[in-house]
Each structure stands twice: as C-alpha cells, then as structure tokens.
Structure 1
Amino acid sequence: MAADKKKKPDTIEIWDDIVRIKDLVLAIGVNSFTTLGGYFIAPNHAPMPLLFGLIGAVVGFIICSLFIKPKRIFEETESGN
C-alpha cells in the first residue's frame, strides 16, 4: 500500500536546472535576511543603503555557496568528429 502512494517530488526545474525545494527556500531566506539586514543597518545617507544591501547580497551568496552543494551530474559522451 505504501508503494502505491506517490511521493511528493522534492525537486523542481528552474531555467533548465534541477533544484531541491529545501535548498531553494533556504537560499532565498538567507539572501533575504542578509540583504535586508544590510539595508536596514546602513546609515541614512543617500548611497549607503544601496551599498550595504549589495554587500549583504554578496555575503548571502557566499554563505549559500558554502552550505548548499551543487547536485549536477556531468556525463561525458564521445562526439563523432
């Protein structure tokens, strides 16, 4: 009976790439937190919130790249040339 139940897929396809939903939600959360955190702690001078928000986005990207590993599998094929 358990074999008859369909498992809910834990991956989705985004821009021809397979992504785990858990990793996607984690990355969105981390990047939102670091970007908005940088924006809100910035001094209230004209370019500073933008600069701090961009720095927060880069920090979030670095954190995500350290904790979320790629799931790609590359296969080599011989060409006929």
Structure 2
Amino acid sequence: MTARSKQDSELIEIWDDVVRIKDLVLAIVINSITTLGGYFAAPNHAPMPLLFGLIGAVIGFIICSLFIKPKRIFEETESEE
C-alpha cells in the first residue's frame, strides 16, 4: 500500500466534504466536552443551562476550527461553452 492510498483510506466523505476519521472523532469529543461542560456548569435557572450549553458549543467550534484544517480536494475541469 503506497503512502497516497493509505492517506486516501483515512478520508471519508460526509455532506459533500472530505474529512479524516481521526479529526471527526476528535471534533466530536471536543464539542461534547465543551457543550456538556457548559451545560453542567450553569446555574439551575430555567434558560441558563441552554445558554451555557450553546456558549460551550460555540467555544468547541472555535477550538476545532483552529486545530483541524479542511481536507478538501479540488479538481479542475474544463467546461464546454
């Protein structure tokens, strides 16, 4: 197995975007920790757990976008006019 085919076997396509399985699992873990951490750290008043959970999800998204880079593959094709 060549290095290129090994790298290709680690990539999967989700919603028309190419991701590495390892990065996908890492992003799910990071977002779960930040979202649930915000939810459980919130005061027990009615809207606060939702608000803190949403803030945790945004923080998790920012962390993931800084550390996990896209794996997009662009293929140039000629169009017929």
Bigger Rg, which one: 1
How many residue pairs match? The answer is: 75
Amino acid at match of 2:40: F
Normalising by structure 1, report the TM-score.
0.82
CA distance in 2, matches of 1:11, 1:74: 15
Is the deviation greater in 40-49 or in 65-74? Answer: 65-74
CA distance in 2, matches of 1:77, 1:41: 51
Normalising by structure 2, report the TM-score.
0.82
Gapped regions of structure 1 (runs ≥ 5): none
Runs of 4+ in structure 1 off by over 2 angstroms are 73-81
Gapped regions of structure 2 (runs ≥ 5): none
CA distance in 1, matches of 2:28, 2:75: 29
In structure 2, do the counterparts of structure 1 residues 13 and 73 end up closer, same or farther at CA, with 3 Å as the change threshold? closer
Deviations 1:5-24 (A, max 9, x none): xx6x2122212222100000
Amino acid at match of 2:65: S
The structure richer in helix per residue is: 2
Give the aligned partner of residue 19 of structure 2.
19
Counterpart mapping for 1:1-81 below 5 A: 3=1, 9-81=9-81
Aligned CA-pair RMSD: 1.5
